[in-house]
Structure 1
Amino acid sequence: MIVVDDLGWADVGYNDHSGVFQTPNIDALSTKGLTFTDAYAGAANCAPSRAVLMSGQYSPRHGVYTVSPSTRGNAKTRKLIPEPNTNDLEDDVITMAEMFQKQGYTTGNFGKWHLGLDPKTQGFDHNVAGYQKGHPKTYFSPYNLPFITDGPDGEYLPDRLTSEVIDWISAVKEQPFFAYIPFYTVHTPLEATESVKQKYLDHPLIRNERHATFAAMVELMDINVGRIMRSLEQQKLLDNTLVIFTSDNGGIRSISYQDPLRGGKGSYYEGGTRVPLVVSFPNRIAPRTDATPVINADLYPTLASVINADVSKQTLDGSDLSPLWFDNKTLEKRNLYWHFPIYLQAYNASADQSRDPLFRTRPGSTMRQGKWKLHHYFEDNVFELYDLENDLGEHVNLAAYLPKIVNNLSKDLNSWRTAINAPIPTELNPKFDPEFTLNHTNKKLLQDKGR
């Protein structure tokens, strides 16, 4: 299971509308596998999405809503007191890795964990470089990361992690194994080898050095995906290995535009939550493209089914996708939900395409039902409704024109929030200053416009 960090839906070659990104190995995996066009992360930023993935539970069950604190942004611009955030998965949560262990699999983590101090206490037999923090200070050795020895000066971390994965699989391949490969890339800091970066600096469609460095990081990540796939083939493991490729959330829009999707990382518009997802299992999963809306919470119950793990006593919010994967059966219609009772400040007020220039996220919930996407924001109790079939970019809010649909969807949303005990912040923030907010917004927009 390869989970790339901050890789947007539009940042892989097979989805790229910009003509910039070169991901031949991921594209080849997509051609040979099952590619989901409407796949979602469980949250719009790192830790909560990974918590949903590893627990199989929506955020209100484990309380991981963001990367702490939940009080992001200027206090004078927040109308409500947000819910407190939980940083790590609690010990009583049975992680996906623990599920694999119970079924006799040996388990390895290679890269970002972000859900506790040491993944070896949460289901992994082997760990390289995974700990509580969400990104390294540098991608070049010396890394100064726990649980990994520094390599030669200048060694590139994704290369090293891939070598560690390949060596580990070679050592354990005679038994069932679960390799979790959460590359720290393409998260900031933006760092890539100079030769690849230079290629993109000379690219006519590159906007600036940050964009070039990011594109180089994507290509270098893709090269390492290719290394993993070739190693599986050389070790004659490919035909008996299920490979999953995805991302933990949308891309940072101020670095890489997610067009035609609106917004990016931290936003609950499509650009923040829709992600690449490819599932490959030669001769068992037929290569094709599927538009079924799925979410990373689905991977836990699906993999439980694949390895015959009994999870009947666990609370899991996802659906078992194995009939869809293996038999191309239609998934029973259901709603997808996101809940974020927190604040997450803007990256770039002018470019983020958020609802509010100061925040990528203000407290609220979203849901998807078929082609409909509903947003509900708590500060002003306002709904937004989008028809994703005809308005993938969420440009036209139809809430005022289709009140019956809003009413029906909001009933489902309220029922879900009640059933899952989702907290809704209501306490007013005494520090909120509307005049300061207006002036601060004006200032940020003019500053960002000049970047």
Structure 2
Amino acid sequence: MKYYNLIILLVLLLNISCVPVKNDTAKPNILLINIDDMGWRDVGFMGSEYYETPNIDELAANGMIFTQAYAGAANCAPSRACLMSGQWTPRHEIYTVSNSDRGKSKDRKLIPVTNNEYMPDDNLLIPEILKQHGYTTCHAGKWHLTDDPSLRGFDVNIGGSHAGNPGSYYPPYKSVPSLTPPSDDYYLTNLVVDKTLDFLSSVQDGPFFLYYSPYAVHTPIQPVKELMEKYENKKEWNGQNNAKYATMVENVDEQIGRIISLLKEQGKLENTFVLFTSDNGGHYGITKQWPLRSGKGAYYEGGIREPMFAFWEGKIPKGEKSGIPVTNLDFYPTILEVAGIQKPEDKVLDGKSLLPVLTDNQTLEERPLFWHFPIYLQAYVKNDTTTQDPLFRTRPGSAVRLGDWKLIQYFENNDIELYNLKDDISEKNNLAESKPDKANELLEILENWRIETNAPVPKTLNPEYQNKP
């Protein structure tokens, strides 16, 4: 009887070992979507009734939407540097695109800080640490931080370089010579996703990290021809009426829909963590983000507040919205926690993981968010009254948000602007004089932060300055 029982036990163990077991501990795939120049209200889930983004909206509805999400800077290169490094601009010293002395010299009172155009080699980026921990990594679209993203942690590079825009969305793709169009009129955004789907189909084992960062909807504004008729006959909404731009927005949505559809077909979506955002505000000459003030390049809300959501099936509750102020610097620590990776001891991260907010219904301790731009950016639109003056989208300065309050300090004349964003989301009423205690409180926080991060403040007067506003 003893031997009989032993045989039965062995048979049961063998049968159990043959039963397939679902691996609940498999590392999640990570999809980071970073649209170029898409404004806060350029998608349906943020209220637009002009642009059509059904695929993005569906994904957002099944995750958590953040209504007060920010980029780390108001234009593309510094914002992307903040996202990929998890650090404030003074740490990587990428403050703008190309040179920092934009506009006419006679209009610049100060000599701006020299801009760093390349991400430092010793700054550990998201794809590099994920690759070290077993992720297969792919960059698709715009990179803008170095010449070759495959040297910064990506196994596959689809169209990425130091180029900030494609030059053309129709062949030849002037700034994207690495991609060969299958026909003379093949739209670049579609081709990038064709190659992206090839990558996803090639990943058989282990987790992947996909950084989908289309060149769209950055200029040049070149419409998707088959969508033009729809938008030419569509009613304007809240200042949004550019039919050509609208076709580009819808096309980006369609391409994201293709990515999500393939992940569903492969059975991978249920184990894929998705973050969606944009790198800066919408181009004010093309799209409006009302009631937010201004747009890309300005440090008013229209230049830095972004559409954002997170999706993770079964982990993040559906249909949730959060008004917690967050920043794209939070993506790095969030991704590390999702992937179960410890932060390297020598890596400085300025953001906070959002995972407790996403999965455990927690909140974040109130903290200041900072922006530093010791440079000049000339105006996009002639006589634009939404910026500080009609000549520049921004002049050298810094900004801080804490709670409902936001302070901007300009370095030329030490001008101060103070806004209560809860009562004045359009930043129309400067309260610096009527609320001096609050202004001084935020200014002290901002000045201490600049000391802590060794943020450069331009002080040298420009001899060519002609003292004209």
TM-score grouping bracket, smaller chain normalisation: over 0.9
Matches within 5 A, 1:301-380: 301-311=333-343, 312-351=345-384, 353-380=386-413
Correspondence for 2:9: none
Say whether the 8 Å CA contact 1:190–1:210 is kept in structure 2. Answer: no
For residue 104 of structure 1, give the secondary structure of its aligned residue in structure 2.
coil
Which letter does structure 2 place at the counterpart of 1:413? Answer: L
Correspondence for 2:209: 178
Say whether the 8 Å CA contact 1:127–1:147 is kept in structure 2. Answer: no
For 2:365 and 2:58, locate their aligned partners in 1 and report how far apart those are by CA, in whole Å. 29
User: Which of 105, 128, 137 does residue 167 from structure 2 map onto?
Assistant: 137
The more displaced of 194-203 and 320-329 is 194-203
Say whether the 8 Å CA contact 1:82–1:363 is kept in structure 2. Answer: yes
Correspondence for 2:182: 151
Larger Rg: 2
Matches within 5 A, 1:156-235: 156-205=187-236, 211-235=242-266
For residue 10 of structure 1, give the secondary structure of its aligned residue in structure 2.
coil
Q: Deviations over 1:352-381 (max 9, x none)?
A: 610111000100000110100110011110
Matches within 5 A, 1:248-259: 248-259=279-290
Correspondence for 2:427: 394
**Deviation (angstroms), 1:208:** 11
Q: Which runs of 4+ in 1 moved over 4 A?
A: 206-210
**Deviation (angstroms), 1:325:** 1.3
For residue 14 of structure 1, give the secondary structure of its aligned residue in structure 2.
helix
Correspondence for 1:298: 330
For residue 190 of structure 2, give the secondary structure of its aligned residue in structure 1.
helix
Q: TM-score, normalised by structure 2?
A: 0.90
For 2:204 and 2:171, locate their aligned partners in 1 and report how far apart those are by CA, in whole Å. 29
Correspondence for 1:20: 50
For 2:194 and 2:312, locate their aligned partners in 1 and report how far apart those are by CA, in whole Å. 22
User: Which of 84, 97, 107 does residue 77 from structure 1 map onto?
Assistant: 107
Q: Deviations over 1:245-266 (max 9, x none)?
A: 1100000111101101001000
**Deviation (angstroms), 1:30:** 1.3
Correspondence for 2:135: 105
Which letter does structure 2 place at the counterpart of 1:362? Answer: R
The more displaced of 120-129 and 312-321 is 312-321
Report percent identity of matched pairs. 47
Say whether the 8 Å CA contact 2:181–2:191 is kept in structure 1. Answer: no
For 1:337 and 1:207, locate their aligned partners in 2 and report how far apart those are by CA, in whole Å. 29
Matches within 5 A, 1:230-241: 230-241=261-272
Correspondence for 1:415: 448
Q: TM-score, normalised by structure 1?
A: 0.94
The more displaced of 347-356 and 96-105 is 347-356
For 1:364 and 1:208, locate their aligned partners in 2 and report how far apart those are by CA, in whole Å. 29
Correspondence for 1:46: 76
For 1:162 and 1:411, locate their aligned partners in 2 and report how far apart those are by CA, in whole Å. 47
**Deviation (angstroms), 1:14:** 2.0
Say whether the 8 Å CA contact 1:12–1:21 is kept in structure 2. Answer: yes
Say whether the 8 Å CA contact 1:346–1:352 is kept in structure 2. Answer: no
- Tell me if 1:5 matches 2:36: yes
For 1:114 and 1:97, locate their aligned partners in 2 and report how far apart those are by CA, in whole Å. 15
How much is the aligned-residue C-alpha RMSD, in angstroms? 1.5
Correspondence for 2:317: 286
Say whether the 8 Å CA contact 2:238–2:288 is kept in structure 1. Answer: no
Q: Deviations over 1:31-78 (max 9, x none)?
A: 101100000001000000000000111100111000011000010000
| Change in CA separation of 1:249 and 1:352 when aligned onto 2, cut-off 3 Å | farther
> Which consecutive unaligned segments of at least 5 residues does structure 1 have?
439-451
For residue 94 of structure 1, give the secondary structure of its aligned residue in structure 2.
coil
For 1:57 and 1:29, locate their aligned partners in 2 and report how far apart those are by CA, in whole Å. 28
Q: Deviations over 1:325-345 (max 9, x none)?
A: 111111111110000000000
Q: Deviations over 1:226-283 (max 9, x none)?
A: 1111111111111100111110000011110110100100000000000011100010
User: Which of 295, 299, 303 does residue 268 from structure 1 map onto?
Assistant: 299
